[in-house]
Amino acid sequence: MDLLTWLSLREGIGHRDDAAAAGFSPVRVRAVIRTGGVQRIRARWIALPSAPVELKRAAAAGGALTCVSLARRRKWWVPPEADDALHVHLPGHESIREGGLRAHWAKPLGPTRPRSLEASVEDALAHAAECFELDQATAIWESAIRTEAITLDSLQQVKWRSTAARRVAEHTRNDTGSSLETIFHVRLSGWGVRLRFQVHLAGHDVNFVIGTHLIVQVDGWAYHSSSADRTRDIAHDAELRLRGYTVFRFSSAQIMYDWPSVERILIAAISRGAHLAPFRA
């Protein structure tokens, strides 16, 4: 196997110590670098021109991808308004060498991996807790649970160092169906009213039940986009109203970009007792 093939099996980028362990001497590596087939990144990394840009930038910074940058790479949910800066976990002795970087210098939660360009899941989640508001950070955490081979129990056993991370850990659940539902749940968690979600009523699950009789359905586009979906939703809402429930349905755009209006409607409904069972003489 030649060096180019070896790198291609590692997403196009590798540490020179790993290359040496694989049998590629420094002389051989320098020879390939001189041909232009391989790029040298600082002193210890080599990469193919086709290697992922974010990995090459992390190597050049002397750190590892973390926070929202690792979330994007690992297909976790990312807040729509998250910036495009590359978030890197840096050792304490490193400084930012280029623009467009967001540095996280916190001490790692576990043993360091000096030849990895990705921070641990736990460190990335801790950094996200510092970078985002509680509702969005919690949505990132719950997305990671759905995507990675981790459990809520294991995350709650981590010795989180920051107040922000501990607060997110307290709000994180493993039974929400989407990041949109997570955001809604976190925003209502401090209201002092009973809140249940994924409750089976009238033949279908509803997203949220506030109190006993106020139902909120949160419509993500992926699950409510067809005519058949819409027809089913309307029929279910009608059946729920016949059974005495008040039903509100909000779109993802309303939850994400017009929360004050959603909040006003829900507060008005609760103040009128819509969350309580209707009185029957």
Evaluate whether residue 227 is within a structural domain. Answer: yes
What b-and-e string marks burial along 192-211, b requiring 16 or more CB atoms within 10 Å of the CB? eeebebeeeebeeebbbbbb
Query: 129-162 pLDDT, tens per residue?
Result: 999 999 999 999 999 999 998 999 999 999 999 9
Name the domain boundary from 137, 171, 205. 171
- The stretch 248-277 carries a mean pLDDT of 94
Domain CATH number, residue 200: 3.40.960.10
Q: What is the per-residue pLDDT for 145?
A: 94
pLDDT > 90 fraction of the chain, expressed in percent and rounded: 77
User: Would you say 48 and 42 are in contact if contact means Cβ atoms under 8 Å apart?
Assistant: no
All residues at 6 or more sequence positions from 108 whose CB lies less than 8 Å from its CB, including other chains = 89, 119, 120, 123
Same domain, 136 and 47: no
The answer to whether residue 199 scores a pLDDT higher than 60 is yes
Same domain, 75 and 165: yes
Same domain, 70 and 163: yes
Evaluate whether residue 279 is within a structural domain. Answer: no
| Phi/psi-derived region of residue 229, left when phi > 0, alpha when psi is between -120 and 50, beta in every other case | alpha
Confidence of residue 214 (pLDDT cuts 50, 70, 90): very high
Q: Poorest-confidence range of 12-26, 99-113, 244-258?
A: 99-113
Q: Whole-prediction pTM value? A: 0.87
Same domain, 133 and 79: yes
Distance (Å, whole) CA 245 – CA 54: 50
Evaluate whether residue 277 is within a structural domain. Answer: no
Same domain, 118 and 143: yes
Q: What is the per-residue pLDDT for 225?
A: 59
Q: What is the DSSP letter of 85?
A: P
Same domain, 31 and 67: no
Residue 196 sits at the vertex; the CA angle it makes with 209 and 170, to the nearest 5 degrees, is 140
Evaluate whether residue 281 is within a structural domain. Answer: no
Name the domain boundary from 147, 171, 195. 171
Q: What is the per-residue pLDDT for 231?
A: 87
Give the residue numbers spanning the domain of 77. Answer: 59-171
Q: What is the per-residue pLDDT for 94?
A: 73
Confidence of residue 114 (pLDDT cuts 50, 70, 90): confident
The answer to whether residue 197 scores a pLDDT higher than 80 is yes
Confidence of residue 32 (pLDDT cuts 50, 70, 90): very high
Same domain, 198 and 242: yes
Evaluate whether residue 278 is within a structural domain. Answer: no
Mean pLDDT of the chain: 92
Our count of domains for the chain comes to 3
Same domain, 118 and 14: no
